[in-house]
Structure 1
Amino acid sequence: MSGNEAYERQTRWLRNVCAGSFLLSLGLAFALVRREAAAEVWGLGALALLTVGAWTLLPRLRARGWPCRWFLSLAVLNLLAVVPELALRLRGFRYESGRQFGYPQPSEFTRFVPHPQLLWTYAPGQPGVNAWGFREREVRPRAARERAARVVFLGDSCTEQGYPAILELLHNARHPEAPIECLSLALSGYSSWQGRRVAELYGARAEADVAVVWFGWNDHWLAYGAPDAEKRAPEARQAPWRHVLAGSRLLQLAQRLADRALGRQSRPLGRPRVSAEEYRANLTAIYGVFERLGVPVVFVTAPSSHAAVRVPDFLVSDGLLPDKATGLRWHAEYNAVVREVQRACPRSVLCDLETAYRRLPPDALRRVFMGDGIHFMPAGLALVASDVLRAVEEVKSLGPAGGSAAGGRGAGE
């Protein structure tokens, strides 16, 4: 074989290896972008450029004496890192070590700071975060509120999504002569156990005129390590490397293999974070805090599109539920607890969103709920705000402590 033939054969081999490597990544990335609109489209363009470059430019560069080892190095790196990463993402692989909750998972705690009583809050002092660690305005004393009555909201991410702000706007537009001020003490991942601590810590300091209580989802997610009542605040020092691990499926696979080899995999306990009886006790205790302060309470049942549309697969695959049927049963049981507690609490009103939204057809539910069937689209937030506002206006009519009992109407009845 002549020197020119050997040179051309080596060039073809180099070109085919490099182009094939990048073409493989390009195919995986294209499939991922088609399935997930949130995937990085710019990465797809970069892979396309590398593929075209490897096929057309590499022989010309080599013919001019340019070193092409860097091109081969990129191709090998691509095969060893990018291709497995994209393949794992395409398969939906995800793993997090040291899991303490169904939600938030370890990487989510990069957004939070530990709290000795509440387990986590946002870092006070951040933009939009008040001194208590909630995404809310600073809490003004009653004397600074002029005529505005204050409605305090305890809940999870469904409340943190923002419907209280819409509720405030709706009421004040209709009744400017009797304004209200909404104060959300809700946070993603909170269960009723944490809500009970929020009420004990801030119930009196909030100087509320009405309290709205909405929990349930995180209560019946599967517990990891221990139920909520036995938890301690997560370690903040884990945050930096958790953030890096959350961005790479390849690193997550390595972590999973290491955890399996060392026998330290996080597994659910097979029971909810908060049992149904604990849920009942927590809601009753929250009511007790506000009753002693002379503050009436609105209890809200957590609505969902799961029964009418579907239970998303990720709720099982991500370890939040043992199976779909159990998830539906638990959610119905926990909402039944809310109704029972409300009937036993004389100065309260029931806003039964679950019953009300269960009557909506599937097409309407898809406009109300996001894809997870739990959180709300903009139209859903407006609907929730309107329904909860009716219950708030009803419970305000109960008057001072010792007034008439609420019949528990609200939405859906």
Structure 2
Amino acid sequence: MRHLSHSLKNTTFDNNSSPDLVTVYFGWNDHWLARGYPDNQQRPQSKMHNSSRDYLAGLRTYQFFQWGLSGVATSTRDEFRVGLNDYELNLRRMEVGCSGKGIPIWCLNAADAFEFGLPEYLRTSGEVNDPTQVELLHDSYNSVVRRVAEDTNAPCLDVAMEFAAMDKRMLFVDDHIYLFEVGREEIANRLLTLLKKHDMVPEVPPQK
């Protein structure tokens, strides 16, 4: 997320590539535990680095070394990949980067169905340190999205609030994070409604 906010601030759009709208939809990987270093201490990797890593990933010695490091990182660090303050700062940077170029930005937050339980992998992967607090943690990140949208007068599609009134068992797969196609369609339909409300849907010429 940090790298994207930096990119939006420093990207130069020409007449052929300037978007009519930027939608910002985060809310999951950001608040998992870093298991090493938070995102703001990471650096984009070169193609050579990625190729070398892919080659080494097949070697047993490298796999054992990585496993050992991940175990140490998980047991000694409890930082999130993107802390709550950085999360808000990144959203605001994205808004500044877009508005400075005359591009509207819309925010979405992410719903969940944790009232039906947490996926087992979250309890064992080291991505959370207290499973009982995950729902409250996620809500705090969603609240930041609402606040930034309100402060910047950006439209906000509050997916979490709208899905709360629906039968989530029909929307979410078994991990209660990812959506079935019907859930994705619900978001798309709501975005379409917003687009129409803001007169951003071009008229389709009649077929001849």
Q: Is 2:175 aligned against 1:369?
A: no
Q: In structure 2, the residue corresponding to 1:321 is in which secondary structure?
A: coil
Structure 1 contact 350–391 (Cα < 8 Å) conserved = no
Distance in 1 (CA, whole Å) between partners of 2:191 and 2:121 is 29
Higher alpha-carbon Rg: 1
Query: Counterparts in 2 of 1:22-101, with a 5 A limit?
Result: none
Q: In structure 2, the residue corresponding to 1:224 is in which secondary structure?
A: coil
Deviations 1:317-354 (A, max 9, x none): 111111222211210000000000001012x1010000
Structure 1 contact 210–396 (Cα < 8 Å) conserved = no
Name the structure 2 match of 1:329.
136
Structure that is richer in strand per residue:
1
TM-score, scaled relative to structure 1: 0.43
Stretches of structure 2 lacking an aligned partner (at least 5 in a row): 201-208
Structure 2 contact 35–126 (Cα < 8 Å) conserved = no
Distance in 2 (CA, whole Å) between partners of 1:321 and 1:313 is 11
Name the structure 2 match of 1:196.
5
Structure 1 contact 298–395 (Cα < 8 Å) conserved = no
Distance in 2 (CA, whole Å) between partners of 1:255 and 1:296 is 47
Deviation at 1:394, TM superposition (A): 3.2
Q: Is 2:44 aligned against 1:222?
A: no
Distance in 2 (CA, whole Å) between partners of 1:368 and 1:197 is 33
Structure 1 contact 301–352 (Cα < 8 Å) conserved = yes
Structure 2 contact 9–93 (Cα < 8 Å) conserved = no
Identity across matched positions, percent: 22
Structure 2 contact 9–98 (Cα < 8 Å) conserved = no
Structure 2 contact 2–40 (Cα < 8 Å) conserved = yes
Q: 1:357 aligns with which of 143, 150, 163?
A: 163
Name the structure 2 match of 1:297.
105
Distance in 1 (CA, whole Å) between partners of 2:173 and 2:59 is 28
Deviations 1:207-228 (A, max 9, x none): 0111111111111011132211
Structure 2 contact 113–172 (Cα < 8 Å) conserved = yes
Name the structure 1 match of 2:203.
none
Structure 2 contact 10–97 (Cα < 8 Å) conserved = no
372-381 or 270-279, which moves further after superposition? 372-381
Name the structure 2 match of 1:382.
185
Name the structure 1 match of 2:121.
314
Deviation at 1:232, TM superposition (A): 1.9
Q: 2:54 aligns with which of 218, 224, 239?
A: 239
Deviations 1:18-47 (A, max 9, x none): xxxxxxxxxxxxxxxxxxxxxxxxxxxxxx
TM-score, scaled relative to structure 2: 0.81
Report the RMSD for the aligned CA atoms in angstroms. Answer: 2.6
Distance in 1 (CA, whole Å) between partners of 2:169 and 2:126 is 24
Deviation at 1:379, TM superposition (A): 1.3
Deviation at 1:202, TM superposition (A): 4.2
Aligned length: 192
Name the structure 2 match of 1:285.
93
Stretches of structure 1 lacking an aligned partner (at least 5 in a row): 1-191, 246-250, 398-413
Distance in 2 (CA, whole Å) between partners of 1:281 and 1:272 is 15
Distance in 2 (CA, whole Å) between partners of 1:390 and 1:312 is 32
Distance in 1 (CA, whole Å) between partners of 2:64 and 2:181 is 38
Q: In structure 2, the residue corresponding to 1:279 is in which secondary structure?
A: helix
Larger RCO (alpha carbons 8 Å, 6+ apart): 2
Query: Counterparts in 2 of 1:134-173, with a 5 A limit?
Result: none
Distance in 2 (CA, whole Å) between partners of 1:285 and 1:311 is 32
Deviations 1:43-69 (A, max 9, x none): xxxxxxxxxxxxxxxxxxxxxxxxxxx
Q: Is 2:160 aligned against 1:345?
A: no
Deviations 1:161-196 (A, max 9, x none): xxxxxxxxxxxxxxxxxxxxxxxxxxxxxxx31331
Q: In structure 2, the residue corresponding to 1:267 is in which secondary structure?
A: helix
Deviation at 1:393, TM superposition (A): 3.1
Deviation at 1:391, TM superposition (A): 2.5
Query: Counterparts in 2 of 1:374-413, with a 5 A limit?
Result: 374-396=177-199
Runs of 4+ in 1 over 6 A off after TM superposition: none
Deviation at 1:305, TM superposition (A): 1.2
Deviation at 1:395, TM superposition (A): 4.2
